[in-house]
A and B are shown apart, each in its own frame.
Chain A
Amino acid sequence: MKWNGWGYSDTRFLFNKKGQAEFTGKRYRLSGLIIPGLKDWMEGTFGASVQHKSQATPILNSSSVQPPNLNEAFVEELKSTGVPYSHDAEDRVFRAHDCHDDVVKIVELACKHNVCLIPYGGGTSVSSALECPPEETRSIVSLDTSQMNRILWIDEKNLTAHVEAGIVGQDLERLLNESGYCTGHEPDSMEFSSLGGWVATRASGMKKNIYGNIEDLVVHMKMVTPRGVIEKSCQGPRMSTGPDIHHFILGSEGTLGVVTEVTMKIRPMPEYQKYGSVVFPNFEQGVACLREIAKQRCAPASVRLMDNEQFKFGHALKPQVSSIFTSFVDGLKKFYITKFKGFDPNRLCVATLLFEGNRDRVLQHEKQVYDIAAKFGGLAAGEDNGQRGYMLTFVIAYLRDLGMDYYVIGESFETSVPWDRVLDMCRNVKARIVHECKERGVQFPPLSTCRVTQTYDAGACVYFYFAFNYRGLSDPVHVYEQVEHAAREEILASGGSLSHHHGVGKLRKAWMRETISNVGMGMLQSVKDYVDPANIFGNRNLL
């Protein structure tokens, strides 16, 4: 794992000696391949140049890190419990080893010695939720749950599994698959993000149309708080017992306690999976099609609509074609769509689809969806394009790190929005990003693109990417933050929500009050005051 970038150490994009882009490692379908279009795309989109490199800080130097602020009494007592810990520069981490009981011990000790605890799962937060608050003066303990990674039991009668909250998404799926099951919860970060983190942020998976979001998947959970352990007494599938206490935990972002164990729904592994894709003449038609699919409640396991910029981006990431035949077929397809069907290459957009389930039903479902798409001018564009689209979500974070080597910084953010405002919001936010970059002296037009990644009855989830070339800027990080802030303001003004699944963290705290009203803030605050009066879970997220 990289300490200063996304993902595995062996996997990254680079420009080889011939100046071609290459994706290293063996883990992904794109790994080991040459991506001929990427260089031109980067140069064309950002005005970035392979000549201008800005290398990342290679290794963490312990002298550049401030010495730890230790609470000696706490450390002494911790030693006696046998819980392993470290305060090396690279770790700065205490490990809650093994089990729920360890966590209970640590939380008790922390309360006793007034130490601040910050739970740490997979470390994939993008909302500054894991940053130590600079105003915190107490000793801070990062409570790493990564060793609590076992499936404790599987209940085949009720189709539930009881799992320790530190487990990482891909391990959970792999282990369940061994028994013929899955959770179906697949956030884009599932390689690294943990079950506890999903609960704490109200995560959403790409196949939520079949399996549901995290709040639909959880049947029971245990959380250790300074007041003690909170859990329900039974596993009834639904209860009318006042407001659901799970909803105090879901989305609490580590401010109330540590989630240690979760019972969640499982499903038999799908018999059949099929990818697909549809090309639309423009984004408007694509959105109209998704809206219709949602209306008829026939959304496939996943459906995502990319705008034109993202379509081009996906195109640039096509690996080198090995046979002349494939390249000939590609050319033919392009000719058919742009010349024969009259699609404008600068307007067309693509939806990627994933169907899952019983084979016959999948084929029937597929037909239904393609029929709807046809009404909106959509043309089926093949399985391969669809599959590649999903693969891209896993490699895109690596690409961000490549960008940083060449003066390009970028990030993604999300929102949810009612159907009638999807188009307006997308247009306004993209335009605002371009506008703000220009205002703040960014020399090159930024990448400002979006995709609709989830459909609901009453609206959709939209995901934005933005990136710009920061050459010539004195403080690019500050500019970046300002642009992101402006983009969020634009989202809210256009009727979008503060977050669909990334959470609030510290990054979006400023908007919480207007988002949930004064009374809402008061309600959350009073829960916090009761559960954690000494602010042991002092990461200062959310409120």
Chain B
Amino acid sequence: MASKPVYSLHRNPMLKKRDDFEDVLEERRSSSDLRYALRCYTPVLYKGMTPSKASMLKSMVLQSDQLHFVMKQVSTETGKAVDDIQEEASAILEEMAHRLQLSTIRFFAYTLTKVFKNLFRSICVNEEGIQRLQQAIQEHPVVLLPSHRSYMDFLLMSYILYTYDLALPVIAAGMDFMGMKVVGEMLRMSGAFFIRRSFGGDKLYWAVFSEYVKTILKNGFAPLEFFLEGTRSRTAKSLTPKLGLLNIVMDPFFKGEVFDVNLVPVSISYERILEESLYARELLGVPKPKESTSGLFKARKVLSEDYGSIHIYFGQPVSVRSLSQGKIDRCQFNLIPRHIPKKPTEEIQGFVNDSAYRLVRAQEENMVLKPWVLLASLLLQNHHQSQASGQRPGLTRDELTQQAAWLRDLSRQYGAFLHWPDHASPSEVVSSSLSLHRGLVKMSEGRIQLAVEQAGGQVNPGEPRTAVTPEEELLNRAVVILSCASYRNQALHVFLRPALLASALHAASSNHKQEVFNSFSFLRNMFSNEFILCPGATVQDFEEACFLLMKTGELQVTEHEVLVTERGQRTLGFLTNMLDPFLQGYQVVCRFLCEEASEALTEKQFIPDVRKFIIKHLLAGRLRYSEVLSSDLQKNALAALLRLGAVQKMKGAQQGTLKVNKVMVNSLEDTLGGKLPTQKAAVARL
């Protein structure tokens, strides 16, 4: 329900205070890399730390009460001898454990400097954030939570911490790195520890793993680092946070084993992502190459290009203690020995989930946006509009500059952390952005447009262009579109709430506030697997959206009505268009499930089948957005439908098959398309 407006409570996003950046490469370009790699490194440490070696860490884990309890339990369940299980545990630990060595870090410090200087114009860090982190490290165990957009992320993090003489982190990494023998070991020696991707029912593995992490944390050996999003986001949108590790690191606080834990969200933004087209291909279903050392060397071609700059923003440390105050009753652990594993209560699960969303939001808010992000949004919209209307695609340089300036002002008013060089003229800014991303744009007849026509661009000039099927051509075009969309996605979080409101206004049958809110609430609920929308914050999000659009004079919100002003049309049009690919995408997925899905549709088969269906529609011109081919969107749509109960995963004999409630899916599709009022859908959902 929309409660009475409390706009005054919103802080003005324009006033969001952010720190300044310093370029760490600047000094590297003028002084010796070797001396830098060998310099004296004396980080400040956690005040409660008991100094010990990596090997001691292992024995502490193996001797812990927690592990002993689980080993005994497993022994009674399986009938295996405790000694054998102990051996298993020891092997798991061996496979998992890091072997952080300063010498390896020094090696990376040297080589990475060489590479970074080659690839990037600058690596900018907010030094005030570094100072806050330094303070935090001394006081309480620290958990670093960087965003995850590239393989580079964690080496980059360690590199920065080494540069600023901060304690080197121990990093939770996915097991896939282990495939690369040498690199895997190198990473291990630079502080990575490896976790299997799935170990659902393996009690022993879970026990070793959680105890390992907790021991590191409790003893304050080193800051712990992991990625809340669990994996690299291929779309540059933040991913729904994974809760496992966050749960583990909060647990020692809940149980009183540490006074507090500091969580530090870190936002790493790349002006140009190294894996740009790799991601796009992956999303389109060209399977991701298995990580191998030789594959990495082949990627050296990548290393000769210009990737612009990187911005790393160390956010405000978040104290778990203050975060949980009044929300978690820590007395709940008083009656059971703390080493007995207990499933977290609903209260705790809810809290961890809320916190995870808040932390990802904090990452998002401090992501630096480059002008290109705005240009990509504009060019994408232009591309689709011209396609639909049959007009000539592209924008003249003046048009683009003018629109970009408009969008710059808008995004700033919405609180975006935009790095728009104010000393240069807008047209210079546009030119330099375009030149950095020349692979994605082209100039034709004085108009700037997406480089979709030469989509075979990856083909070497020497080779004769082989005849391509329409399907291949479509996929090639989609690579460019998806690459471009990944830049637009970087700005999505800025516009998301107003865009949801704009779409809600578009879909709602009247301007009645309650109706608009219902529509907003429906869309928000539908998209809560797609975007970072904090659970239970519908009313706040609605009010924030209203506030932003009112502030900029695009909307008038009275007690009962929401009205679009004259000047608001342009902005609302832009916002609706921004969300439109997602709306269409979800509708297509629904249509697929209604029309094509057979009884025996399995979860595994869902993506290939839906992709075929979409390709068919795209080729037939029934669908505008090739972006919908993104498997990320398809998966999110399915997740949403599962969450809403419109699709069910079968258990038992038909394990893995999906049961589709066609009536419900149909009504959801109609509601998304604005054919059904939201109220009815809401009923259908229940």
Contact = CB atoms under 8 A, between A and B. Distances in A.
Interface stretch (A52-60, A73-81, A369-377, A492-500): A492-500
B686 interface: no
Task: Say which size band chain A's interface belongs to.
Answer: 10 to 19
Interface in B322-381: 329-331, 333-334, 337-338
A428 B254 CA distance: 12
A435 B257 CA distance: 17
A155 interface: no
A492 B330 CA distance: 8
A163 interface: no
B256 interface: yes
A420 B337 contact: yes
Nearest to A284: B50
Nearest to B321: A435
A489 to B, nearest CB: 9
A321 to B, nearest CB: 35
A68 B137 CA distance: 59
A425 interface: yes
Contacts of B48: 427
Contacts of B256: 421, 424-425, 428, 493-495
Nearest to B50: A284
Contacts of A428: 256, 259
Given A420-B337, A420-B338, A493 B259 contact: no
A314 to B, nearest CB: 24
Residue of B48, B255, B331, B337 with most partner-chain A CB within 10 A = B331
Contacts of A493: 256, 329-331
A73 to B, nearest CB: 49
Interface string A409-433: 0000000000011001101100110
Contacts of B257: 424
A495 B334 contact: yes
Contacts of B334: 495
Interface in A485-512: 492-495
Contact of A432 (B259, B331, B333, B338): B259
A427 B50 CA distance: 15
Nearest to A495: B334
B339 to A, nearest CB: 8
Contacts of B331: 492-493, 495, 514
Task: Say which size band chain B's interface belongs to.
Answer: 10 to 19
B259 A427 contact: yes
A247 B484 CA distance: 76
A420 B330 CA distance: 16
Contacts of A431: 259-260
B295 to A, nearest CB: 47
A495 B331 CA distance: 6
A428 B252 CA distance: 12
A494 to B, nearest CB: 4
Contacts of A425: 256
A228 B619 CA distance: 97
A491 to B, nearest CB: 10
Interface in A410-460: 420-421, 424-425, 427-428, 431-432, 435
A287 to B, nearest CB: 15
A427 B256 CA distance: 9
B140 to A, nearest CB: 9
A323 to B, nearest CB: 40
Contacts of B329: 493
A542 to B, nearest CB: 20
Nearest to A496: B334
Contacts of A494: 256, 330
A420 B340 CA distance: 13
B50 to A, nearest CB: 9
A493 B334 CA distance: 8
A432 B334 CA distance: 19
A492 B260 CA distance: 16
Contacts of A421: 256, 338
Interface string A165-185: 000000000000000000000
Residue of B256, B333, B338 with most partner-chain A CB within 10 A = B256
Contacts of B338: 420-421
Nearest to B333: A495
A421 B339 CA distance: 12
Interface in B536-594: none
A420 B334 CA distance: 11
A520 to B, nearest CB: 15
A420 B65 CA distance: 11
Interface string A507-543: 0000000100000000000000000000000000000
A250 to B, nearest CB: 24
Nearest to B329: A493
B13 to A, nearest CB: 28
A488 to B, nearest CB: 12
A435 B259 CA distance: 10
A420 B331 CA distance: 15
A232 to B, nearest CB: 34
Contacts of B333: 495
A387 to B, nearest CB: 33
Contacts of A427: 48, 259
A494 B337 CA distance: 12
Nearest to B325: A489
Contacts of B337: 420
B305 to A, nearest CB: 50
A59 B119 CA distance: 80
A428 to B, nearest CB: 5
A493 to B, nearest CB: 4
Residue of A421, A425, A492 with most partner-chain B CB within 10 A = A421
Nearest to B48: A427
A425 B259 CA distance: 9
B138 to A, nearest CB: 13
A431 B331 CA distance: 18
A421 B331 CA distance: 12
Residue of B48, B255, B260, B334 with most partner-chain A CB within 10 A = B334
Contacts of B255: 424
B22 to A, nearest CB: 30
Interface of A: 420-421, 424-425, 427-428, 431-432, 435, 492-495, 514
Q: Give the top 4 A-B pairs by smallest Cβ distance, nearest first.
A: A493-B330, A494-B256, A431-B259, A495-B334
25 contacts: A420-B337, A420-B338, A421-B256, A421-B338, A424-B255, A424-B256, A425-B256, A427-B48, A427-B259, A428-B259, A431-B259, A431-B260, A432-B259, A435-B259, A492-B331, A493-B256, A493-B329, A493-B330, A493-B331, A494-B256, A495-B256, A495-B331, A495-B333, A495-B334, A514-B331
Given A420-B337, A495-B333, 6 more contacts: A424-B256, A427-B259, A428-B259, A492-B331, A493-B329, A514-B331
